[in-house]
Structures are given as structure tokens and as C-alpha cells.
Amino acid sequence: MKELIEQLKTQVENAEIKNTTDLEQFRIKYLGSKGEIKNLFNDFKNVPNDQKKEIGQQLNQLRMATEDKFTLLKEQLESSDESAGSLDFSRSGESFPLGSHHPISLVRAEIIEIFSRIGYTVSEGPEIEDDWHNFSALNFPPEHPARDMQDTFFIEKGENEMALRTHTSSVQVRVMENQQPPIRTISPGRVYRNEAISARAHCFFHQVEGLYIDKNVSFADLKQTLLYFAQELFGEKAQIRLRPSYFPFTEPSAEVDVSCSICNSAGCNVCKYTGWLEILGCGMVDPNVLEASGIDSTVYSGFAFGMGIERITQLKYKVNDLRLYSENDIRFLNQFKSAL
């Protein structure tokens, strides 16, 4: 048996292992339940008693040496790249496909960044709102059409009326209730309207609404703020115009148009040959809204504005169908990689 042990010892020492397949064959041949070393241990019972101590030590040494070699080779193979020998390291690296931020996310971030330069902070609130924050505190009378089921997704009717918010003005109410002027904040978020889905409308979309309240705030401050925003977003040549309008929570109110950057105000099918594109609504905060939130309207005044991010994105990137934003078409999204 001494000769067999020496032979196996030599075989183990000289075994060449190049990959994991060779290593597994090595383990089976020498350390497996039917391997060479196991067979020697099975034959150990036939060794004369006066030789058992010496031969037993040799068998144990052989087994430990074989296990050590197996462990060492296994660690070496795991830490190295088996396929390294088949790689051509002189080849240029392969590029990995990268995704893109959604255009809505890009424009939302840009709008936030523009207003942050002039001191506006970001406020957020729940998408499921009660009647007070969504309507009543914003001076919506009970008979206002926006309360009708055709416009609002109601979740619960009656005394505890709850609905998916129709605008992020509800966030402004929460800010006014919990913070004393001066207030300068914008409220980006998703809103919901019960409308038919088409190229120009959707049942959910994104808004950014702004609010500024302080002493002696005027309509001139509002106009200058919006002109700054338009020129930062659409270019320094952009101009705005304000048209009288109506909103329950502002008085006076206005719709804001920006000069068409597609045709340089010459007139095209996008601006309907007017040279102007509507981008947002605005106005001076109605005193009733201030008082409802616990702000003294005899001391403070303010302005508010709101815009649809989809609309701004449509103008900035010339998107002609709002449905593209929510269809997850990778061909559409890949076009905005360069905008990162």
C-alpha cells in the first residue's frame, strides 16, 4: 500500500488543471466517494496492525495535500477570467445601450432649476385631495363647472368628498396654511382630469404651479418673472404677451403666450399663423384665497401661475401628439438622449 500511496501522491502533484472542467474531474478521481483516496481508506482494514499507524499517517497526509491543492486551484480559477485566453485585448471596447430621461422629466427639472435661481423652493402634496384643498379654499363656488363629474375623478362623494387632484394649486393651499409670508414656491406634480384621450388632451398630465406672496407684490412683478422664465427656457429673444382671462383663485387673471420659436413669430401651423403660443395661466391671488388660508389680505398680496409640463415640452421639442409621452415607445424616448 505504501507504493500505491506514493504513486497517487505523484499523480496529484503532477496533475494539470486548466479550467473548471479539469478541476471537477480531479475532485471526482481523487476525492470523490468512489475516488482513489477513498478506495485506499477502504483497503486500510487489510493493513497489518504493526503498519497501521505509519500507513494511516501517510493516507491522511495524502488526503490533506489533495484537498489543499483542490482548494487552491478552485480559488485561482474563480478569481481569474476563464475566457481571458480567448479575448483579443487589442479590440476597442463595446458600448452598452443606455436609456434616457423621459422628456417630461427633463423639462420638469429644467423648469425647477430656472425658478430656483430666483429663490423659489419646491413644494409637494398628495394626489388624492379633499374638497377644501382642491376647490373651496381656491374660491371655487359650489356651482363651478370644474366640480362636475365630467372634469373630476371623484373617489368619494358626500360630506367627506375626495378626488384625484385636478391641479397642483392644492399644494399651494397647504403651503399657505402652514407658512407665513414671504412665500415663494413652485409645486410640480401629476394631476388628473376626466377628459377623452387625444393628441391634444389626456386624462392625466403634469403641472408646475408657482406662488409668490409678500408685501407690495404687483402685477408688474408677475410679468417680469414670467418674461425671465420664457427667455431662460426658450431663448433670450423670446417675448410674452398677456391676455385677460378668468380663474376663480386669481383676480385679475391672464393667459400668457410666448412668441413662436418654431417660425420666429412669422406664422406657422403650430402657432396657427398667429406667431404666438399659449403656455400658462396666471394672475394676482384673490384676497378670498389668502383669507381662507389665514393670511391677512390687507397686508400681503401675491401672484400665482400654472403651466402644463406636457405643453411646454411639446413646444420645446416640437412633439405633436401628447399620447407619445405615456406610450413607452423606445423609439420616441431614444430621441432625447442628447438632451441629458
Q: What is the pLDDT of residue 306?
A: 95
Tell me the average pLDDT across 151-175. Answer: 87
Q: What is the pLDDT of residue 290?
A: 96
CA–CA gap between residue 169 and residue 161 (Å, rounded): 17
Which residues are CB-contacts of 140 (< 8 A; sequence separation ≥ 6)? Answer: 146, 147, 248, 249
Q: Is the pLDDT of residue 95 over 80?
A: no
Q: What is the pLDDT of residue 338?
A: 66
Q: For residues 207 and 188, is the Cβ–Cβ distance under 8 A?
A: yes
Q: How confident is the model at residue 195 (pLDDT cuts 50, 70, 90)?
A: confident
Q: Is the pLDDT of residue 221 over 60?
A: yes
Q: Is the pLDDT of residue 86 over 70?
A: no
Q: What is the chain's length? A: 340
- Higher local confidence (pLDDT), 182 or 66: 182
Tell me the average pLDDT across 163-181. Answer: 93
Q: For residues 266 and 162, is the Cβ–Cβ distance under 8 A?
A: no
- 222-257 pLDDT per residue, tens: 999 999 999 999 888 889 999 999 999 999 999 999
pTM for the model: 0.67
CA–CA gap between residue 168 and residue 261 (Å, rounded): 28
Q: What is the pLDDT of residue 85?
A: 54
Q: How confident is the model at residue 120 (pLDDT cuts 50, 70, 90)?
A: very high
- Higher local confidence (pLDDT), 163 or 88: 163
Q: Is the pLDDT of residue 149 over 80?
A: no
CA–CA gap between residue 299 and residue 73 (Å, rounded): 82
Q: What is the pLDDT of residue 325?
A: 87
Is the Cα dihedral 322, 222, 169, 171 positive or negative? positive
